[in-house]
Amino acid sequence: MQVQQNYPLKKYNTFGIEVYAKYFSKFSSIEELEALIINYKLQTTNHKLLILGGGSNILFTKNYDGIVLKNAISGIHTVHEDEDHIYVKAGAGTNWHQFVLHCIKNNFAGAENLALIPGNIGASPMQNIGAYGVEIKDIFHSLEALHLMDKRVVNFTLNDCEFGYRDSVFKKKYKDQFAILNVTFRLNKKPQYNISYGAIKEELENLQPMELNIQAISQAVINIRSNKLPDPNIIGNAGSFFKNPEISEHEFHELKRIYPHIVGYTLNNANVKLAAGWLIEQCGWKGFRRRDAGCHADQALVLVNYGNAPGKEIYDLSNEIKQTVKDKFDVELEREVNII
């Protein structure tokens, strides 16, 4: 548990931004984390601390003037089961997709639509990760987190987390206050398949599985994602840069009058969620490149680092995109990616 100084973070963020942490260390247990926090406070004056997972939802805009603590608490265990459910606890440093594969292999249903999302277990509740009609709130049971100031371990239930669309209590009132240590998921013994997304249906038709099961659905999701999303190992990115904005039904009808092809989905609360990618594309950004910062040629919602873009240039580009969308549609885009 060595604390290193002036540590390069390029390998630790999927945007591949070349920045340095003033201090850096890894921890594999709560005891190691507590020891690091105590020692670090003795060593430094500014107390800035960042818990890092897979670095797939972060944009570093400058060197980190504090300590970066890489979470490496691993392990996946079944902790309880009843007639309908299996409760599986995973360490926060476990890779998310490895956890999904564990569920698929053991026939624990519920996580299959979330296959291949980058990152680790510990960050999954931060923004209530979601894809293809499923969010982790649908399989979430509880989590344990260490309060970084008073070092209490707190248990959070589903209600405590206040999950919303790419949102949770950890991005709002408890921002930067907790290190998530582990998450317990409630998976189904009797699967209820969610194949409402057209792309999944189409891919299943291509795959022609012998039967519809979680293995077939996860394979369909893996195929779709591999074809659609840029691989961060090839081109730096953090997936969708912005959230899909929500507007009222009235506002949507007004926009539809002017832009008949605008893409929106009606929500349960009667508001309409717009496709942020469509709005960005209409403003002419798709495929845009300035030096090494750009907007992906196929996915306008994904900002990319073509090589050596400084994080600040990608951030500035995101501001320009936000402004043009605001000017053209009077819609405010909100970033999904955490700006550091």
User: Which residues participate in catalysis according to the annotation?
Assistant: 166, 240, 336
The residue from 117, 134, 143, 314 that contacts ligand FAD (CB under 6 A) is 117
By CB under 6 A, what part of segment 79-108 binds ligand FAD?
92
* H or E segment to which residue 184 belongs: strand 178-188
Do residues 158 and 141 touch, judged by C-beta distance below 8 A?
yes
C-alpha 182/C-alpha 327 separation (Å) is 43
Q: What are phi and psi of 223, to 5 degrees?
A: -65, -45
**Residues in CB range of 27: below 8 A, 6 or more apart:** 1, 33, 36, 69, 70, 71, 72, 73
> Considering the rule CB under 6 A, would residue 53 count as an interface residue with ligand FAD?
yes
Contact pattern from residue 219 through residue 238 relative to ligand FAD, giving x for each residue in contact according to CB under 6 A and a dash for the rest: ----------x--x----xx
126/220 with CB nearer ligand FAD: 126
Q: Are strands 293-295 and 289-290 parallel, antiparallel or unpaired?
A: antiparallel
* Residue 48, phi then psi, degrees to nearest 5: -75, 130
Q: Is 226 exposed, middle or buried (0-12, 13-18, 19+ CB in 10 A)?
A: exposed
Pairing of strands 130-131, 134-135: antiparallel
Is residue 113 involved in binding ligand FAD (CB under 6 A)?
no
The distance of closest approach from Cβ of residue 178 to ligand FAD in the complex, given in angstroms and rounded to an integer, is 6
DSSP 5-66: EEEE-GGGSTT----EEEEEEEESSHHHHHHHHHHHHHH-SS--EEEESSSSSEE--S-EEE
Binding segment toward ligand FAD, per CB under 6 A, in 35-43, 178-186, 206-214, 253-261: 178-186
- The answer to whether the beta carbons of residues 69 and 47 sit under 8 Å apart is no
If binding is defined by CB under 6 A, does position 143 make contact with ligand FAD?
A: no
Q: How many residues in the shown chain lie near ligand FAD by CB under 6 A?
A: 33
Q: Write down the least CB distance from residue 203 to ligand FAD, Å.
A: 15
**Least Cβ distance, residue 228 to ligand FAD (angstroms):** 10
Binding mask 300-339 for ligand FAD (x = CB under 6 A): --------------------------------------x-
Quick one: which segment of 117-125, 204-212, 252-260, 263-271 binds ligand FAD (CB under 6 A)? 117-125
> Judged by CB under 6 A, does residue 239 bind ligand FAD?
yes
Nearer to ligand FAD, 92 or 255 (CB): 92
Calpha distance 121→185 (Å, rounded): 10
127 binds ligand FAD (CB under 6 A): yes
Contact between 51 and ligand FAD per CB under 6 A: yes
According to CB under 6 A, which residues from 245 to 304 bind ligand FAD? none
**Cα distances (angstroms) measured from residue 79 to each of 75, 83, 184:** 12, 14, 8
279 or 340, CB closer to ligand FAD?
340
Can you give the binding site for ligand FAD, defined by CB under 6 A?
14, 50-58, 71, 92, 117-120, 122-124, 126-127, 129-131, 178-180, 229, 232, 237-239, 338
